[in-house]
Structures are given as C-alpha cells and as structure tokens.
Homo-oligomer: A and B are copies of this chain.
Amino acid sequence: LTNICFGNIYIDTNSGAAPLPTAAADLAAYDRPSVAVDVVLLTVVEDRLAVLLIRRPGDEGWALPGGFVRIDEPLEAAVRRVLADKAHLPGLFLEQLYTFGVPGRDPRGRVISVAYYGLAPLERLQEALAESADLALATVEVAWAGETGGPAGVRLPDGATPPLAFDHADILGAAVKRLRGKLDYAPVGLELLPARFPLRDLQAVHEAILGVRLAKPAFRRKVLDRGWLQPTGLREAASAFRPAELYERTRKGEEDHG
C-alpha cells in the first residue's frame, strides 16, 4: 500500500516529491480517456427478447446505440439524450449496468463506456423504428442458461446473425444476466408491458427473458404475492374464447425498483 491516493488526487508516496495541491487545474495534468455511454434497450417481440440496434454506416455492421458524455452532463442524461427520450420515451426504465474500460475495446482510442440497459414495451418503440431505416430490433440469442453469464448474439428480422461491434456482445450478455437476476425480486417485467395487461402476457415476458417455460399456477401465485399488481376489474377485448382480466401496477409496484 505504498501508492495511495486520497480523494482522487494521486500521490506517489514512494517519491520524495511533495503531494500535488488539490487545485482544479491539476485535473488537466493527466491524459484523459473518452467517456461514452452505450445502451441496451430491450423489449419483447412475439414472445422473444429483442434489442434495439443501429446500423454503422461505414462497415454496414450493427452496434448498440451509444454516444459520448458531455462535459457537464450526468451519465443517465447522456443515455436519455442518445435515445432522445424527451420526444419519444419519457419515463423509460433505465439502470446502470457496468463500465467497460479495457484499453483495446475501441480501435479508435481509449474509450471507457458506461453501459446502461433500458426496458420499453414494443408499442413505445414502433414510431422511432418507423422513422429510421438504420434502426432495427433483433432478437437476443443467449447460449447460456440461468445466470451463468457470457456474451449474447443477435438475430435480425431477415434471419441474419451478424456479430456486434466492439465488445457489444459482452454488454448485451451482461444486460440479459442482470435482467434475469432482477426478475424475481423487482417488478421489471412490468416495464415491458402496457399499463394494463393480462397475467398471461406478464408470464410470456418472464419466459422470454429467462428462456424457459414456467408453470402457470406457480407464476400467478408468486407474482400476485409480491404485491406489485392489482386487478382492474376490466377484461381484455373479447377474443375467440374467455377473455382474461387486466391487471395494473400498484403503488408498491411503482416503488420496488430495488
């Protein structure tokens, strides 16, 4: 423990030099990496987990949406700016995932990326997708079970499975792992559904995220015991057969974002 810093000011306790004064100007004395945010925006399409990708103009490859953090901008604000939330995605669920900082991860230079993941029901993304041909929703392909972890691939609507740019496969895998872990103790599944929904749809969301089939009675008991949901008394639009009751988020379901 001979190379200790205090309050982010570096001091070499091995050298005889005096400690650097804690002036703002000293921050300029170091070469600084670039800081970016990348966002894994997940949704569920046809009972499968899907992720928003953007085409990279140069090489026609695909990447997660991302951008540099401005000098006076909070990290989460940078993510929302990248997604232009104010126009189209207010109240989007967003959570910091992990910070990727291996020096070689971006061939253009030292870029440290703070990865976030976001959740939105498909309806919220449709408009944006229709606006831009450079955006796509690709289904997420996970080769590992449970919370083992590891990289994840994508499959585009045309069936292609292109590699993701940089270390974005690792970022995507980390998002799926985190989401699987939170599903049991936080109401994250609700973020992928409209305000009112039948329990069947919530079960389908859980199955899409976990990649397994769940038993209906156990699922209903568990999710209702959590206290995140309440029945509305409303029924879904009449289908061929018995329509299901619609549920909505409770007060507790708003708060338990653990």
Contacts and interface: CB of A to CB of B under 8 A. Distances in A.
Q: Number of contact residues on A: which range applies?
A: 35 or more
B101 A4 contact: no
Contacts of A30: 34, 68, 70-71
A158 interface: no
Contacts of A128: 1
Interface string A172-190: 0000000000000000000
A84 interface: yes
A89 B2 CA distance: 11
A160 interface: no
A202 interface: no
A99 to B, nearest CB: 5
Judged by DSSP, the binding face of A is loop
Interface stretch (A75-83, A215-223, A224-232): A75-83
Nearest to A24: B108
A54 interface: yes
Contacts of A74: 101-103
Interface string A1-42: 111111111100100000101111011001111111010000
A145 B69 CA distance: 35
A233 to B, nearest CB: 33
A90 interface: no
Interface string A58-98: 10000101111111111100000111100111000000101
Interface stretch (A110-118, A191-199, A203-211, A241-249): A110-118
A55 interface: yes
A59 to B, nearest CB: 9
B75 A6 contact: no
A108 B71 contact: no
A30 B149 CA distance: 34
A113 B8 contact: yes
A68 B26 CA distance: 11
Given A10-B68, A32-B34, 4 more contacts: A23-B108, A30-B34, A30-B70, A33-B69
30 contacts: A1-B131, A2-B87, A4-B54, A4-B65, A4-B84, A5-B54, A6-B63, A8-B36, A8-B66, A8-B113, A10-B67, A13-B132, A22-B108, A23-B108, A24-B107, A24-B108, A26-B108, A27-B34, A27-B109, A30-B68, A31-B71, A32-B34, A33-B35, A33-B71, A35-B101, A69-B112, A72-B103, A73-B103, A74-B102, A149-B258
